[in-house]
Amino acid sequence: MGALIGLGVGLGLLLIWSAFTSPPVSVRVERGPGHIPRLLTAAGLGQVSTAAFAALCGGCGLVALLVVQAVSNTLPVALTFAVIGGYLPVAIISGRARRRQREFAEVWPEAVDNLASAVRAGLSLPEAVAGLAERGPEPLRGSFAQFALDYQVTGRFGESLDRLKDRLADPVGDRVVEGLRIAREVGGGDLGRLLRNLSGYLRDDLRTRTELEARQAWTVNGARLAVAAPWLVLLLMSAQSEVIRRYASPAGVVVLAAGATVCLIAYRAMVRIGRLPIERRILS
């Protein structure tokens, strides 16, 4: 009995000593892609690297800096337009991503109807999905053609669906793909009815969102015009050297900084008020 007690005490002391002397275990947290990669993927430019896009932004900013500096010969004004020029590609890509998502939202009901018709006609689920490369809406055909090629090469339906989700980068597409995955894995006999219900829901959602966007478009457009007008006036003033050089003084720099801050805050507030919430990809 004494030997067992001694062994237990010794083992406990050994564990306590190892807890204080062992190096800490590093826990690696898997992080998803950053904002710029997600934005490029949503715009259909997933093949563009973040470094290349950053170089494009830097190049646009440098060109704006050199041009405005040559015209105005006022460094604070040139730096201001360099920042605007550097942000211009981000604004263009953001607009492209919103237009692409809106375009997909308009054609997804038709794509789901085609899937339901193919399943009702007796085609297998992979054949029905691959058939959208030919019978589906034009904006989606390229992505589904790649799916058909992936499935033909690998024969793995789940992995091909994952690649399809990455290419589409669309929240509605995520729901459709996950519904197809569940139907494939558990053998849903009501897949046709599920797809028809989903198609009706997507049409109702699209109709409501379109009406609201049409009513609130003036707010967003007004915000863009209001924030762009002062800087367009400043750009036109750059040709008048005796006027624009006043912004090279400390007071002029303060005016530029304050104006940029107020424009940024007001624009973000107006856009947030006037724009409908964007559906996020919760199944990506």
Rg (CA), the chain: 28
Q: Please check whether residue 280 lies inside any domain of the structure.
A: no
Residues 6+ apart with CB under 8 A from 176: 108, 111, 112, 115, 198
Interval 69-90 mean pLDDT: 89
Residue 62 is assigned to a structural domain of this protein: yes
Q: Is there a domain that residue 117 lies in?
A: yes
Q: Per residue in 116-128, is it b (16+ CB within 10 Å) or e — as a string?
A: bbbbeeeeebbeb
Over pLDDT 70: what percentage of the chain? 83
Mean pLDDT of the region 130-138: 87
Please state, rounded to an integer, the average pLDDT across all residues of the chain.
80
Residue 33 in any domain: the answer is no
| pLDDT at residue 184, as a whole number | 74
Q: How confident is the model at residue 89 (pLDDT cuts 50, 70, 90)?
A: very high
CA 9 to CA 16: how far, in whole Å? 11
191 within 8 A of 119, measured Cβ to Cβ: yes
> Is 123 inside a domain boundary?
yes
Q: How many domains does the chain have?
A: 1
Q: Please give the structure tokens belonging to residue 171.
A: 């929240």
CB-CB contact of 149 with 142 (8 Å) = no
Q: Is 121 within a domain?
A: yes
Residues 21-35: pLDDT tens digits? 555 433 333 455 678
Residue 90 within a domain:
yes
* pLDDT 10s digits, 100-130: 888 888 888 888 888 888 888 888 888 888 8
What is the model's pTM?
0.73
- Residue 212's domain comprises 38-274
89 occurs within a structural domain: yes
Going from the C-alpha of 167 to that of each of 43, 224, 235, 242, 280, the distances in angstroms are 10, 31, 40, 53, 16
